[in-house]
Amino acid sequence: MTQNRFVGGWHLRFQLGPMVDDPDPRRRARATLRAIARNPGAHARVVFARNFERRISPISVMQHADNELRLAYGRSPFRPWRRVLRSQLGAGDAAPSYLPQANATARAFAESIGGTPLNLLIESVGGKSFTAHILGGAIMGAHAEEGVIDTDHEVFGHPGLYVVDASAIPANVGVNPSLTITAMAERFAARQAERAAGSVVGSATIQA
């Protein structure tokens, strides 16, 4: 569980709504919409709050769940004449859209700073789990049956082709993965530099 700050997250204001507790997605969606309808002024104050980006403190909650998402082209629900990348459940149970410990933490944090606890509408109304870190796609493995790239980031069966980004990471690391991605990229660059230096030395020796 981490507390975050956003730069350029102005669009988030349109994705937030009142915090509601209910493990049933449909009941929770109805309760959230009723809360907005009963007090539209409070909702409007959130949406149009001044200095929104400076005042919001998003809390992200990780969980130990053995599941995966798969991205595939499908019809857009908003523009059905276009095909877009859409997420599908790959394996395991679907990630829950409601975590009571997350709501409890948000309420405690809001009380400590004099703020207002909120939920993402895509979770509370849409019943969909929200993730900000899409990893995998060209994962590292011991051989081609396990992954796309080897431990040197080289694509199996395609010498000289490398993948060095978040798609190489086979699973969610539980926190913001930016440092993990950077570390893996730096390791790749260092190993490539060592190999390049070795080939130069080797050719120089042959020439001598």
In tens, the pLDDT along 56-101 reads 888 888 777 777 777 788 888 888 899 998 888 777 777 888 999 9
pLDDT at 1 over 80: no
Q: Where do the structural domains in the chain lie, given as residue ranges?
A: 2-64+98-124, 133-208
- Per the residue annotation, which of 43, 64, 133, 158 is the catalytic one? 133
Q: How far apart are the first and last CA of the chain?
A: 59
Q: How many CB atoms lie within 10 A of CB 97?
A: 20
Q: DSSP assignment, residue 95?
A: P
In whole angstroms, give the CA distance from residue 207 to residue 157: 31
For 16, the enclosing helix (H) or strand (E) is strand 16-18
Instruction: Please determine, for residue 43, whether its predicted confidence score (pLDDT) is greater than 70.
Output: yes
The number of residues making up the chain comes to 208
Model confidence at 34, pLDDT cuts 50, 70, 90, reads: very high
What integer is the mean pLDDT of 17-40? 95
Mean of pLDDT values over 161-172: 90
Q: What single letter denotes the amino acid at residue 189?
A: A
| DSSP letter for each residue of 35-88 | HHHH-HHHHHHHHT-TTHHHH---EE-------EEEEEEEE-SS-TTSEEEEEE
What pTM value is reported for the model? Answer: 0.71
CA angle 105, 109, 111 (to 5 degrees): 120
User: What is the residue-averaged pLDDT of the chain?
Assistant: 86
* 148 CB neighbour count, 10 Å cutoff: 21
DSSP string, 116-143: --EEEHHHHTT-----S----SS-B-SS
The DSSP 8-state label assigned to residue 171 in this structure reads S
Q: Is 18 helix (H, G, I), strand (E, B) or coil?
A: strand
Tens-place pLDDT, residues 98-157? 999 999 999 999 999 999 999 999 999 999 888 777 788 899 999 999 999 999 999 999
> Are 95 and 129 spatial neighbours (Cβ–Cβ below 8 Å)?
yes
pLDDT at site 200: 45
Active-site annotation holds for 158: no
Q: How many CA within 13 A on the CB side of residue 129?
A: 23
H-helix or E-strand containing 69?
A: strand 68-75
| Strand-pair partners of 72 | 86
